């Protein structure tokens, strides 16, 4: 694990995480340690709320299984439609029918992110929004799997003859969060080699 006192990278100061001590060496309260990750929590809550609100709006407007001509809402003809379908698998419908196991795997993944938060760099403010996007998206899809037995997908894009897999706000948050974190990781200076 990366120690809290390590030299900060070029993308910002550490948020002082939950090491239990402030820069002055005083014991930090639990609230202060949680607040150190505020950028993660704020982005995560916003993504989760946007995901659940948009899914509810679709569920209120379109019956489940609405897809194709006369069933969908055409936003941009031939390019973008709003639909209401379910995915019991992962991205691109992989592992179809394994919704419960995928929910369990997602919960374990969130636990692993918390356990290895220092190794992953969550103490850095610049990395926290990436994990906020990930956490908000993952939790949004977990709620769907537990409440409905599938993830609600409704964003349907067509590129000529190619139909992009239908997705939702949570999926977008996860993809953008992963991309953000990869970019952030690539910008970090290499750690000095251990003394031999």
Which parts of 72-168 fold into alpha helices (H)? 99-115, 117-120, 128-148
Give the three-class secondary structure for 161: coil
Active-site residue set? 153, 171
The DSSP-derived string for 26-65 is PBPPHHHHHHTTHHHHHHHHHHHHHHHHHHHHHHHHS-TT
**Cα–Cα distance for residue pair 75/120, rounded to 1 Å:** 40
């Amino acid at each position: 694990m990366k120690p809290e006192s390590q030299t900060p990278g070029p993308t910002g100061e550490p948020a002082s995480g939950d090491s239990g001590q402030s820069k002055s060496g005083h014991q930090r309260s639990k609230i202060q340690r949680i607040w150190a990750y505020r950028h993660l929590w704020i982005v995560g809550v916003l993504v989760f709320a946007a995901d659940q609100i948009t899914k509810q709006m679709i569920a209120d407007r379109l019956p489940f299984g609405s897809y194709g001509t006369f069933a969908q809402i055409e936003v941009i003809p031939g390019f973008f439609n709003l639909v209401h379908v379910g995915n019991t698998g992962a991205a691109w419908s992989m592992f179809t029918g394994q919704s419960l196991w995928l929910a369990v795997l997602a919960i374990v993944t969130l636990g692993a992110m918390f356990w290895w938060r220092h190794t992953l760099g969550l103490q850095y403010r610049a990395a926290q929004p990436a994990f906020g996007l990930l956490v908000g998206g993952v939790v949004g899809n977990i709620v769907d799997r537990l409440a409905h037995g599938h993830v609600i997908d409704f964003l349907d894009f067509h590129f000529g003859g190619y139909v992009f897999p239908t997705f939702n706000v949570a999926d977008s948050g996860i993809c953008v969060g992963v991309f953000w974190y990869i970019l952030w990781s690539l910008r970090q200076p290499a750690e000095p080699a251990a003394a031999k």
